[in-house]
Structures are given as C-alpha cells and as structure tokens.
Amino acid sequence: MTVSETIREILSQEGRTQIWVVDKMNEIMPELGMDRSRFSGIVTGHRNMTADELLAFCKALEISPDVFLN
C-alpha cells in the first residue's frame, strides 16, 4: 500500500476531512505551512510527503508512524 493510499484509508476510518488534518498539522508544526493544495497532492499521490509532514500527520491523528511501514 502506498503512502497516499494509507492516508486515504486512515482519513476514511477516522472520519476526518483534509481541511481538518491540515489545520491540525499546522497547529502542531506551524513551520510546515501546510495548505490544502499541498496536502491534496500528497493524498492523490502527486507529491511526496516529507518526514516532518508524516510526523505532523501522525500526531494530528494520534496514530503511530508504524502504520506506514507495511
């Protein structure tokens, strides 16, 4: 499973919107400057996710980064 597929599955399971995740990621790591367009690129697989973005995503959803190690 790709990173984008994993993210889509997590968002669906958690019932979270991309906007909610972007807002939470920016609360956790404001220096990321994440916006909807960049996050959408990650979700659709058109953009790679950086390590900092991955950590902020996991913290926002209170999940372990291990979910991406399948």
- pLDDT value of residue 53: 97
On whether the CB atoms of residues 35 and 22 are closer than 8 A, the answer is yes
- Distances from the Cα of 37 to the Cαs of 4, 6, 18, 46, in angstroms? 14, 18, 10, 11
Whether the per-residue pLDDT at 18 is higher than 80: the answer is yes
In the predicted structure, residue 70 carries a pLDDT above the cut 80:
no
Q: Is the pTM of this model over 0.85?
A: yes
Q: Domain ranges for the chain, please list them.
A: 3-63
Q: What is the mean pLDDT of residues 61-69?
A: 94
d(CA 4, CA 43): 5
pLDDT at 38: 96
Q: Which residues, at least 6 apart from 53, have a Cβ–Cβ distance to it below 8 Å?
A: 25, 32, 34, 42
At the fourth CATH level, the homologous superfamily of domain 3-63 is lambda repressor-like DNA-binding domains (1.10.260.40)
When pLDDT is averaged across residues 36-64 and rounded to a whole number, the result is: 96
**For residue 21, what is the enclosing H or E element?**
helix 18-28
Place of tokens 């950086």: 50
